[in-house]
């Protein structure tokens, strides 16, 4: 280094990441909650009372069927995880801990409402009527998606973080142009839901989609599952102002809901969807929840988060919470719970069997859906690849 070059000023080494001092299990006073962690009803207050009408409308049978959904969705997830461990799937992203957030949101949707998921929304898929078997194909590597998006108004999984937010805002603008908002006809008025995670809120796509939806006043509900981690990055690497508060900066209402309370998730989403369908514009919901498992089966969270954190969240388990509530109302006796377990076993067996029997696709298939119309370059690549494969067969 020559003498006239100023040496860089010594700076302290970048701080290593310290866990946040605040209690990450506390959603704060703005969080809408109807059931506490012990399954006891939360008294009406300023933040939950606007949604009380939706909870009041839930009858005992619906309460039981919400519980059934939670249990079966958890079982689908456990089976996906086990199938990956047995070598039947390449990857599985678990929703463990997020069942209530997803079942609440999914059950709030009407058939005509369209969902744009990320890759962890197995519970929403379930509520929209997608056969869980179809969720496995992509993770087994035998197809690019495995279901017809328009059959249940549930778009294909999107791996590119935040990308589906733009798809949702665009689709919602189309819904407006088709005159399917604010007609007063409950069969016709349509809303769109976009699902992403806390990490997704840091993406450009996410922020752009909120701007579009806000200025166009589109019928879209953004549902951010804040599970506190984006792989190994905690919340405080994604934002300093939580997503529900940032909504205000986009000019749309933001609501934080207890994502481990299925009644709250259902009620808040119903409110936001009603608003969207009637022409009231977008809403952002932040479901405050926790990723109990690894990011995916390729991840080892013991490398970056402390077990004590997981233990605290286990006490807020969404399924235990609703079961306690049902029991306190005399709605879940042993016989009913055992019958549900048996139903879950049957479902798991059906999933396992179907997964093992999924045929490998012909080699040509991956070229077929690149473009809607045939394309000369793709055609050429397909021919080359098939010839290459055939050369192996000849050697045999």
Ligand X SMILES: Cc1ncc(C[n+]2csc(CCOP(=O)(O)OP(=O)(O)O)c2C)c(N)n1
Q: Counting contacts by CB under 5 A, is residue 286 touching Mg ion? A: no
Q: Counting contacts by CB under 6 A, is residue 204 touching ligand X? A: no
304 is catalytic: yes
182 phi, psi to nearest 5 deg: 70, 25
160 binds, among ligand X, Mg ion, none (CB under 5 to 8 A by kind): ligand X
Q: Could you tell me the two tokens for 164?
A: 């589906």
Q: What is the DSSP string of 260-287?
A: T-HHHHHHHHHHHHHHHHTT---EEEEE
Give the list of residues 6+ apart from residue 62 with CB closer than 8 angstroms, or none: none
Q: Counting contacts by CB under 6 A, is residue 212 touching ligand X? A: no
Residues 188-207 that bind Mg ion (CB under 5 A): 197-199
167/140 Cα distance (integer angstroms): 25
| Closer residue to ligand X in complex, CB, 285/348 | 285
Residues 246-305 that bind ligand X (CB under 6 A): 291, 295
Nearest alpha-carbon partner for 242 in 213, 291, 284, 270: 284
- Please identify which residue in 104, 170, 197, 301 interacts with ligand X, judged by CB under 6 A: 197
Q: What is the DSSP string of 162-200?
A: THHHHHHHHHHHHHHHTT-SSSS-TTT---EEEEEETGG
Q: Supply the minimum distance, in Å, between the C-beta of residue 51 and ligand X.
A: 25
Q: Counting contacts by CB under 5 A, is residue 109 touching Mg ion? A: no
252/281 Cα distance (integer angstroms): 8
291 is catalytic: yes
Q: Supply the minimum distance, in Å, between the C-beta of residue 167 and ligand X.
A: 14
Q: Counting contacts by CB under 6 A, is residue 77 touching ligand X? A: no
295 is catalytic: yes
Which residues, listed in sequence order, are joined to residue 255 by a DSSP beta bridge? 285
Please give the DSSP secondary-structure letter assigned to residue 135: H
Residues 17-46 that bind ligand X (CB under 6 A): none
| Closer residue to ligand X in complex, CB, 42/78 | 78
Binding mask 227-266 for Mg ion (x = CB under 5 A): x--x------------------------------------
Residues 159-178 that bind ligand X (CB under 6 A): 159-161
Query: Exposed, middle or buried by CB within 10 Å (0-12, 13-18, 19+), for 198?
Result: buried
- Contact set with ligand X (CB under 6 A): 120, 159-161, 196-200, 227, 229-231, 291, 295
Which of the residues are catalytic?
291, 295, 304
- Contact set with Mg ion (CB under 5 A): 197-199, 227, 230
């Amino acid at each position: 280094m020559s003498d006239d070059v100023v040496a860089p000023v010594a700076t302290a080494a970048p701080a290593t990441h310290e866990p946040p001092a605040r209690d990450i299990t506390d959603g704060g006073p703005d969080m809408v909650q109807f059931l506490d962690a012990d399954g006891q009803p939360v008294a009406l207050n300023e933040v939950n009372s606007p949604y009380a009408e939706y909870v009041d409308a839930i009858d005992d049978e619906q309460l039981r069927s919400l519980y059934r959904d939670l249990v079966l969705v958890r079982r689908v997830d456990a089976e996906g995880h086990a199938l990956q461990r047995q070598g039947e799937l390449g990857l599985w992203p678990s929703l463990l801990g997020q069942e209530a957030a997803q079942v609440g949101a999914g059950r709030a949707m009407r058939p005509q409402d369209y969902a744009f998921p990320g890759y962890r929304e197995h519970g929403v898929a379930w509520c929209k009527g997608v056969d869980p078997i179809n969720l496995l194909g992509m993770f087994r590597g035998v197809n690019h998606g495995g279901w017809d998006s328009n059959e249940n108004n549930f778009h294909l999984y999107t791996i590119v973080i935040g990308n589906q937010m733009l798809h949702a805002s665009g689709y919602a603008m189309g819904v407006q142009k088709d005159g399917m908002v604010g007609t007063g006809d409950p069969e016709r008025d349509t809303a769109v839901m976009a699902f992403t995670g806390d990490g997704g809120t840091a993406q450009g796509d996410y922020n752009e989609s909120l701007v579009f939806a806000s200025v166009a006043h589109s019928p879209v509900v953004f549902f951010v599952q804040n599970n506190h981690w984006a792989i190994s990055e905690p919340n405080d690497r994604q934002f300093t102002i939580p997503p529900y508060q940032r909504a205000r900066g986009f000019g749309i209402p933001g609501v934080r809901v207890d994502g481990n309370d299925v009644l709250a998730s259902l009620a808040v989403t119903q409110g936001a969807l009603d608003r969207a369908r009637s022409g009231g514009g977008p809403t952002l919901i932040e479901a405050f929840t926790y990723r109990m498992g690894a990011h995916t089966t390729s991840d080892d969270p013991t490398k970056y988060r402390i077990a004590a954190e997981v233990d605290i969240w286990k006490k807020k388990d969404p399924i235990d919470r609703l079961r306690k509530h049902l029991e306190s109302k005399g709605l879940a006796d042993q016989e009913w719970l055992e019958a549900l377990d048996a139903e879950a076993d049957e479902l798991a067996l059906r999933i396992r069997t179907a997964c093992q029997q999924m045929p490998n696709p012909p080699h040509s298939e991956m070229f077929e859906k690149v473009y809607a119309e045939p394309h000369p370059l793709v055609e050429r690549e397909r021919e080359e690849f098939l010839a290459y494969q055939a050369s192996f067969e000849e050697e045999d």
